Homo-oligomer: A and B are copies of this chain.
């Protein structure tokens, strides 16, 4: 069991040892810890290894100069200089918010970036400004379009955060696949099968084998199969890819570089690195913020009071589970599974920093 402060300081130390500035290391560590606290350990400490290996392979710039390469009053394109995605994303979302202050809305497309942690972290940056926040990112290709067996898209998440008045904010943050890839890894470690609807084999047949990606298989889009709307999940994932990569000039679809060092950078790509897309929408560009936020309270209360299905206790609002987990983990601390503890100890040893077991 670790306090979030302890893990924050450890993570900061790891990234500083890799050569990042103190300020950059704090920005990066904040996103790892937010993922843990919000109950998404698949995007938390387990990922430190990936950045570490990318750095060792010379594929991560630890002194990136994140810069705006094009802008208009309400839009910008940001180049992440091949640094950790958190650095490009933080600067991009701050830029979107600044643009929205004067232009009403701000939209930033980001290229030459890397994996940035959880999308919801950046969308939520807009909340305290009385803005709605939007964050999209593409990711390394694992997912097949409907009717295909080629891995053309990532799990391409969408995050949208909307402020309320007395109620907590609405925060949706979800991959455009039925499950995150991490759940396949968990099932594989446990030696379990997964439900049908998540993956297919290399010929396109439904599969319940969580190791199928290693045998030419692919993940399915939200909807699972054509009958149940997988073409809609394909549309969503494609929209995320187009806004993230085409507006910014990042690598698209099959050309998004992997976030792990053991996979090669794809050949034939015409864009640079991973792409993201950020939006900040000033509420009072549409309606007085107080009036809107009171209406959001009403929306949340109405949905929360909808009738639960038999056997269910209550109906959730997007953001409820993460907020409740964060409240608990801030008090109780964060538990790391033995394999991750061991992995972090090994990294700590190599970098000559302390990590309590």
Contacts and interface: CB of A to CB of B under 8 A. Distances in A.
Contacts of A75: 104-105, 285-286
A107 interface: yes
Interface string A126-153: 0000000000000000001111111010
Contacts of A233: 222
A214 to B, nearest CB: 18
Interface string A237-268: 01101100111110011100000000000000
A245 B302 CA distance: 14
A197 interface: yes
Contacts of A205: 310
A292 interface: yes
Interface in A53-72: 70, 72
A357 interface: no
A274 B244 CA distance: 31
A246 B299 contact: yes
A145 B306 contact: yes
A213 interface: no
Interface string A285-323: 111000010011011001100111111101110100000
A77 B287 contact: yes
A150 B306 contact: yes
A195 interface: yes
A83 interface: no
A179 interface: yes
A49 interface: no
A270 B104 CA distance: 25
A172 B287 contact: no
Given A174-B232, A287-B70, A148 B306 contact: yes
Given A160-B235, A172-B239, A247-B287, 10 more contacts: A72-B104, A74-B103, A75-B286, A104-B107, A149-B308, A176-B232, A178-B229, A179-B229, A249-B295, A254-B302
Q: Which 7 A-B pairs have the closest CB atoms?
A: A204-B309, A150-B306, A172-B235, A178-B229, A75-B285, A147-B312, A148-B315
Interface of A: 70, 72-75, 77, 103-105, 107, 109, 144-150, 152, 158, 160, 162, 170, 172, 174-179, 195, 197-198, 200, 203-205, 222-224, 227-229, 231-236, 238-239, 241-242, 245-249, 252-254, 270-271, 281, 283, 285-287, 292, 295-296, 298-299, 302-303, 306-312, 314-316, 318
16 contacts: A73-B73, A73-B103, A74-B103, A75-B104, A175-B232, A197-B228, A200-B309, A222-B222, A224-B228, A231-B316, A242-B299, A246-B287, A246-B292, A247-B287, A252-B295, A271-B295
